[in-house]
Copies of this chain bind each other. A is one copy, B any other.
Amino acid sequence: MADFKALLKEIRGYKADLAGKDFLLTWEKTVDELAQILAIADALRDLRVRNISAKVFKSGLGISLFRDNSTRTRFSFASACNLLGLEVQDLDEGKSQIAHGETVRETANMISFMADVIGIRDDMFLGAGNAYMREVGEALDEGNAKGVLEQRPRIVNLQCDIDHPTQAMADLGWLKEYFGGLGNLKGKKIAMTWAYSPSYGKPLSVPQGIIGLMTRFGMQVDLAYPEGYSLIPDVVDLAGKQAKETGGSFRVVNSMDEAFKDADIVYPKSWAPYAVMGKRTELLKNNDHDGLKALEKECLANNAKYKNWECTEEKMKLTKGGKALYMHCLPADISGVSCKEGEVAGSVFDRYRIETYKEAGYKPYIIAAMILTSRFKDVAGLLEKLESKGKVRVKGE
């Protein structure tokens, strides 16, 4: 990791305009802005390692609004809030409801009287999760403009139907560390591939987040899946367009082997087909439990045809020097460990286990950096003051 002064210089070197804005999709931010967030995350980690407090909020709430179960992201959000001095307050809404209009407007205002940030996870409904976040954002704009809210809390997307920006950015931060700098990612090949899992209905946001982000940095991105397991078409189109602009490449293949061939990085992970997720959304909206069961059965039967989409030792040998970096957002479905047959062979996972933990370890700092940039214009100045004051996080150490 670069030293603190160098990080401050790097942060100041980026042209960024993140203050006063929500973080909903990585492709709504410039490359400079994304790079700045990574550098701020590194600076925050450096402060923490040196036992220097990064508490910029003396009080304030971080609202966590999870419309789907979560342990890892929930803890990452809580960690980020705690690092900065915000206390987490959970809003537990019913899982399966899609809220609209007045319900959203009212809730958004009611939870925000003393909120500085709202983290939302809403990935159950295709076409609804990101839209919901925007609706909350509009309600907050109005509430703030009309004097209901004294401040406009910022929204951080903790996973929606389209993107999973805190995950993708953590992944990028890890790649930056692993390959020694963002610049070194240029030309590197990453295989974002579907993999078999005995479970069903996993969201599309991770693969979409990866192809939507990695194509920004000149990487060669292969998206691979069995026929029928496509993603949201708009995001796929976007990835192609972005790859062209940055001198990278993007292609869709229907072979895991082809994607793995000469890859520097592999990211094998299960997801449900776009079409299935669409049907599922309709069935969920109509509370059609029989329909949902039938769809699940059909989908699992279809999955079972592709059990050979597993990240095995044989497949790993296809990668560059047989030594591609294995990535996963965790928890992985590990064959013979967490399930009989799954996304990855036990021996492969075990070899990269610690690496996947380190990958995950970026998330709290990424979220904290997103909170800081969404709120403060001069984050470098703020960090500089924190460091020079040097208040210790833990006394007596």
Q: Are A111 and B57 in contact (CB under 8 A)?
A: no
Asked if B385 contacts A395 (CB within 8 A), the reply is: yes
Interface pair A396/B391, CB less than 8 Å apart: no
When distances are taken between beta carbons in the complex, the residues of chain B under 8 Å from A49 are 150
Query: A360 interface residue, CB < 8 Å from B?
Result: yes
A46-104 contacts to B, CB under 8 A, are 48-49, 53-61, 71-72, 75-76, 78-79, 82-83, 85, 87-89, 91, 101-103
Which chain B positions have C-beta within 8 A of A57?
Answer: 393-395
For A143, give its contact among B106, B114, B330, B357 (CB under 8 Å).
B357
Residue pair B396, A382 in contact (C-beta under 8 Å): yes
User: Within 8 Å of chain B (Cβ to Cβ): is A205?
Assistant: no
In the complex, the chain B residue whose C-beta lies closest to that of A358 is B148
- The copy count of this chain in the complex is 3
Q: Interface digits, A319-336 against B, CB 8 Å rule (1 contact, 0 not)?
A: 000000000001100100
Cβ-based interface call for A107 (8 A): yes
Interface: A13 (CB within 8 A): no
Say yes or no: is A294 at the interface (Cβ < 8 Å to chain B). no
Q: Is A338 an interface residue (CB 8 A)?
A: yes
Q: CB within 8 A of A111: which of B75, B89, B397?
A: B75
List residues of chain B with CB within 8 A of the CB of A54.
59
A334 partner residues in chain B, CB cutoff 8 A = 102
How far in angstroms is the closest Cβ of chain B from A353?
A: 8
Taking A103-B338, A331-B106, A337-B102 as contacts, is the C-beta distance between A114 and B58 under 8 angstroms?
Answer: no
Q: Nearest-CB distance from A329 to chain B (Å)?
A: 11
A392: nearest residue on chain B (CB-CB)?
Answer: B58
Given known pairs A109-B357, A357-B148, the reply for A385 and B393 (CB within 8 Å) is: no
CA separation between A49 and B72, bound complex, in Å? Answer: 34
Chain B: which residue is nearest A85 at the CB level? B59
Per-position 1/0 for A299-335, Cβ under 8 A of B: 0000000000000000000000000000000110010
Interface flag for A376 (CB, 8 Å): yes
A91/B71 in contact, CB under 8 A = yes
Q: How far is the CA of A107 from the CA of B85 in the complex (A)?
A: 24
| Bound-state Cα–Cα, A28 to B143, Å | 35
Q: Answer yes or no: A238 CB below 8 A from chain B CBs.
A: no
Report the minimum CB–CB distance from A246 to chain B (whole Å): 31
Q: Are B150's CB and A106's CB within 8 A? A: no
Kindly supply a per-residue 1/0 record for chain A positions 332-372, scoring 1 wherever the CB is within 8 Å of any chain B CB and 0 otherwise.
Answer: 00100110000000000100011001101101100000000
Asked if A110 and B392 sit within 8 Å, CB to CB, the answer is no
A338 to B101, CA, bound (A): 9
> Which of B71, B85, B91 is in CB contact (< 8 Å) with A110?
B71
Q: How far is the CB of A114 from chain B (nearest CB, A)?
A: 4
A381 within 8 A of B: yes
Most chain-B Cβ atoms within 10 A of its Cβ — which of A79, A357, A391?
Answer: A357
Q: Does A146 contact B (CB under 8 A)?
A: yes
- Interface presence of A183 (CB below 8 A): no
A308 to chain B, nearest CB (A): 23
Residues of B within 8 A of A111 (CB): 71, 75
Q: A53-B58, A53-B59, A395-B382 are in contact. Are A106 and B376 (CB under 8 A)?
A: no
- CB of A128, distance to nearest CB on chain B (Å): 18
Q: Which residues in B have their C-beta under 8 angstroms from that of A357?
A: 106, 109-110, 143, 148
Are A330 and B58 within 8 A (Cβ)? Answer: no
What are 15 of the A-B contact pairs (CB < 8 Å)?
A: A56-B395, A57-B395, A58-B395, A59-B83, A61-B79, A61-B82, A75-B91, A75-B111, A78-B87, A103-B331, A106-B357, A109-B357, A376-B396, A382-B395, A386-B395
Besides A48-B150, A83-B114, A376-B396, 7 new A-B residue pairs in contact (Cβ under 8 A), listed by A number: A54-B59, A58-B391, A58-B395, A82-B114, A106-B330, A113-B360, A375-B394
